[in-house]
C-alpha cells in the first residue's frame, strides 16, 4: 500500500532552482536567471553550480558554488540539491534548468506550485522544451514513445533533465541522481526509482523552457556514455528476468539506426564497460512497478 501524502498549499509552497554551468555561457545564464527571478509569486531561491569552472558574476541573492572539477551532470546537480539542505528538504520542490535555457512565461512557477498542490502523489514535472526561433519541440524531448504530438500533456515514465521540477520529498525517499553516470540516462534512473516509490511523473506541454535545438551526439562522450549507462540502468533497477530483454532491444535499435563505424565502436565499448564496472546499489523495481510502466505505455524492455 502506497503512503498517504499531503501537499503544501500553493501559496505557501517554497521553490528552489538548480542551474549547472561550465561557465561558458554567461549571457545565456544571466538571461535564464532573470527569467527565474521574474516568476510570479514568492521568490525562487537559486543555486548556480560551476561544474569544474569559475562562475561569472551572478545577480544579487543568487548563490554560487564552484566545484574544483567537472563531476558530470548528475553529481553536479546533486551538489545543487544538497545546497537546499539534506535531500533538498529546505524547499518543497526544486526546478532544474539548463544554463542556456529561458523561461518565456512568468507563470511557470505558479503552475508548478498548483500542480504539486492539486496532486500529492505527483513527484516530478517534465517541461516542454521549445526552440526559441521556431517554437518547435524535438521528438526526443517528448518523454514518451508516442511523441508525435508534443502539445499533448500526459503521465510519463521519465523526464527531461534540464527542464523539470522535482518535489524534495522524492529525493528524501529514493535518493538523488546517480552521480557515477556523469552524463546520460540519469533522469530515467531517478524516474524508475520514484515510480517504484509510488510517485507519478507528468509531462506538461504548457510549461515551456526555450532552448536551442541541438543534437545529443554533440557531446564527445555521447555514444560511450549512452551505452554504458543503459547497462548500469538495467543492472541497478530491473528484475534480472527483464535485463536481457531490455538490453537486447537496445542493441537491435542501435544497429537499425546505422551509426558510423566509429560511433558503433564507442557504443559497444561502453556496453562492455557497463558490464565490467560497478553500477552502484542494485534496487530492482517491484513487478507492480513493471506493470505500472507498461500501463503508462512504456514497459521497461524499451
Q: How confident is the model at residue 2 (pLDDT cuts 50, 70, 90)?
A: low
269 and 160 in a common domain: no
Q: Tens of pLDDT along 214-268?
A: 877 555 589 999 999 999 999 999 999 999 999 999 999 999 999 999 999 999 9
- In which domain, by residue range, is 150 found? 10-214
Number of domains comprising the chain:
2
Q: How confident is the model at residue 195 (pLDDT cuts 50, 70, 90)?
A: very high
How far, in whole angstroms, is CA 276 from its chain's centroid?
Answer: 26
Does 3 score more than 60 pLDDT? no
For 185, other C-beta atoms within 10 Å of its C-beta total: 23
Domain termination site, one of 214, 231, 247: 214
Q: How confident is the model at residue 11 (pLDDT cuts 50, 70, 90)?
A: confident
Q: What is the four-CA torsion angle of 15, 21, 23, 24, rounded to 10 degrees?
A: -120
- The pLDDT value recorded for residue 217 is 58
To which residue does cell 524516474 refer?
Answer: 191
Look at residue 117 and tell me if it is in a domain. yes
Question: Could you tell me if 225 and 182 are in contact, meaning their C-beta atoms sit under 8 angstroms apart?
Answer: yes
CATH code at position 24? 3.90.550.60
24 and 147 in a common domain: yes
Q: Tens of pLDDT along 38-58?
A: 999 999 999 999 999 999 999
Backbone phi and psi for residue 104, each to the nearest 5 degrees, phi listed first: -75, -25
Domain termination site, one of 214, 248, 283: 214
Does 1 score more than 90 pLDDT? no
167 and 226 in a common domain: no
Secondary structure of residue 267 in the 3-state scheme? helix
- The pLDDT value recorded for residue 215 is 76
Q: Tens of pLDDT along 168-191?
A: 999 999 999 999 999 999 999 999
Q: How confident is the model at residue 291 (pLDDT cuts 50, 70, 90)?
A: very high
Q: What is the DSSP letter of 102?
A: B
State in Å, rounded, how far the first CA of the chain is from the last one. Answer: 27
195 and 73 in a common domain: yes
For 285, other C-beta atoms within 10 Å of its C-beta total: 20
**Sign for the pseudo-dihedral over CA of 78, 240, 284, 296:** positive
Q: What is the four-CA torsion angle of 179, 122, 48, 111, rounded to 10 degrees?
A: 160
Look at residue 127 and tell me if it is in a domain. yes
206 and 94 in a common domain: yes
- The pLDDT value recorded for residue 103 is 98
Domain termination site, one of 182, 214, 246: 214
Q: How confident is the model at residue 73 (pLDDT cuts 50, 70, 90)?
A: very high
229 and 163 in a common domain: no
Q: Tens of pLDDT along 98-155?
A: 999 999 999 999 999 999 999 999 999 999 999 999 999 999 999 999 999 999 999 9
Look at residue 2 and tell me if it is in a domain. no
Q: How confident is the model at residue 202 (pLDDT cuts 50, 70, 90)?
A: very high
102 and 17 in a common domain: yes
Q: How confident is the model at residue 22 (pLDDT cuts 50, 70, 90)?
A: very high
Q: What is the DSSP letter of 275?
A: H
Q: Could you tell me the maximum CA-CA distance found in the chain, to the nearest angstrom?
A: 55
**Sign for the pseudo-dihedral over CA of 188, 191, 192, 193:** positive
- The pLDDT value recorded for residue 216 is 72
To which residue does cell 526526443 refer?
Answer: 140
Amino acid at each position: 500500500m502506497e503512503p498517504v501524502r499531503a501537499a503544501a498549499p500553493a501559496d505557501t509552497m517554497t521553490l528552489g532552482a538548480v542551474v549547472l554551468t561550465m561557465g561558458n555561457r554567461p549571457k545565456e545564464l544571466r538571461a535564464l536567471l532573470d527569467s527565474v527571478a521574474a516568476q510570479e509569486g514568492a521568490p525562487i531561491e537559486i543555486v548556480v553550480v560551476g561544474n569544474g569552472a569559475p562562475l561569472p558574476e551572478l545577480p544579487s541573492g543568487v548563490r554560487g558554488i564552484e566545484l574544483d572539477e567537472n563531476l558530470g551532470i548528475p553529481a553536479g546537480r546533486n551538489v545543487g540539491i544538497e545546497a537546499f539542505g539534506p535531500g533538498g528538504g529546505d524547499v518543497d520542490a526544486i526546478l532544474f534548468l539548463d544554463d542556456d535555457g529561458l523561461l518565456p512565461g512568468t507563470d511557470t512557477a505558479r503552475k508548478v506550485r498548483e500542480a504539486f498542490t492539486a496532486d500529492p502523489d505527483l513527484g516530478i514535472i517534465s517541461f516542454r522544451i521549445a526552440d526559441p526561433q521556431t517554437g518547435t519541440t524535438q521528438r526526443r524531448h517528448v518523454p514518451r514513445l508516442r511523441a508525435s504530438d508534443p502539445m499533448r500533456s500526459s503521465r510519463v515514465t521519465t523526464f527531461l533533465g534540464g527542464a523539470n521540477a522535482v518535489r524534495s520529498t522524492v529525493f528524501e525517499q529514493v535518493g538523488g541522481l546517480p552521480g557515477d553516470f556523469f552524463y546520460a540516462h540519469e533522469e530515467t534512473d531517478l524516474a524508475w526509482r520514484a515510480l517504484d516509490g509510488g510517485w507519478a511523473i507528468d509531462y506538461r506541454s504548457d510549461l515551456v523552457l526555450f532552448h536551442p535545438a541541438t543534437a545529443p551526439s554533440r557531446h564527445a562522450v555521447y555514444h560511450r556514455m549512452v551505452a554504458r549507462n543503459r547497462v548500469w540502468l538495467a543492472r541497478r533497477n530491473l528484475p534480472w528476468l527483464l535485463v536481457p530483454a531490455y538490453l537486447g532491444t537496445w542493441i537491435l535499435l542501435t544497429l537499425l539506426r546505422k551509426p558510423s563505424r566509429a560511433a558503433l565502436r564507442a557504443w559497444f565499448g561502453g556496453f562492455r564497460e557497463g558490464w565490467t564496472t560497478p553500477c552502484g546499489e542494485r534496487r530492482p523495481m517491484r513487478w507492480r512497478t513493471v506493470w505500472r510502466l507498461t500501463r503508462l505505455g512504456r514497459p521497461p524492455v524499451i
